Structure 1
């Protein structure tokens, strides 16, 4: 069995980490063609750090500022095909690559983390994630009754789990390091005394 579609999550930007409201990538609705035009207007709007993006992923869930007739409707998700499924070459208007070695992070260097930029890339309207809000064929923005805070609930929950698990791992490491430092001796004997 061959996996043809491999996805990644492209939210973080070079200039904006977890600050979702500050994202600069745009998706502007073009009612004439029933498409969104995705664009990375400046360097800091480059998607930065997504796992699996540099070499492996063929598609991405991209978060961008939704614009309709000059009005900004905040950040929304879009499914975007990044490359040809035949030869894995980037599609027109899309720049994708691996960010390379990470500073002082030996463990992270085993992971592929990428960068992504858009130069007026067209995305079909039905590729917008429209569970909580929609854009009609006519370009009308329709928001659901679900409170906006709940949209980010899963992401916040996962971040809380990561912090909780990391604190347990860190407490184990501190315990092991403390025990080890109390009993471990090294260096040579001095005048027949114990090792230091």
Structure 2
């Protein structure tokens, strides 16, 4: 009789609603992972962890109420069995040490691809502690964008899809999708989520 695959329950904690919801949606579409939604502050995350008992929390380093280290501590205090993956858009030499000493199982740059995030979720759920180096994207020369590309980037970051952007800018959906394709190429991104994360890391979008 085949062994039933265990489902990993994951919670995304990030005050950037568009990023959190996009990542949660991507995880929900991944076999073997059940996304239990998003929390937008550590207070909300602690409540969700106590109630929903996720296996994995993907936690943003910079939240409005606390920093990542305190957030890790509070979530671990709420449920020690929950593994935490800290996600940061800012390179810092001591960040990995701070994260792992606080109890995080892994540290990922915010511009990580969905494939890398999923792989890390699965490895951490199995008990691995992963060390990695934050991408230097935040310190690289920002990507050069046209005025229209910048407008579309900002609208994407606000959670708008192609039809809504087309209506906002009075252009066709086909044209919007062409611009999004160009943005993915310029940022070397495999998804719109990654476009937004890399743009934010390079200072092209507000934190």
Shorter-chain TM-score above 0.5? no
What's the TM-score, normalizing by structure 2? Answer: 0.23
Bigger radius of gyration: 1
- TM-score by structure 1 length? 0.24
Structure richer in helix, relative to its length: 2
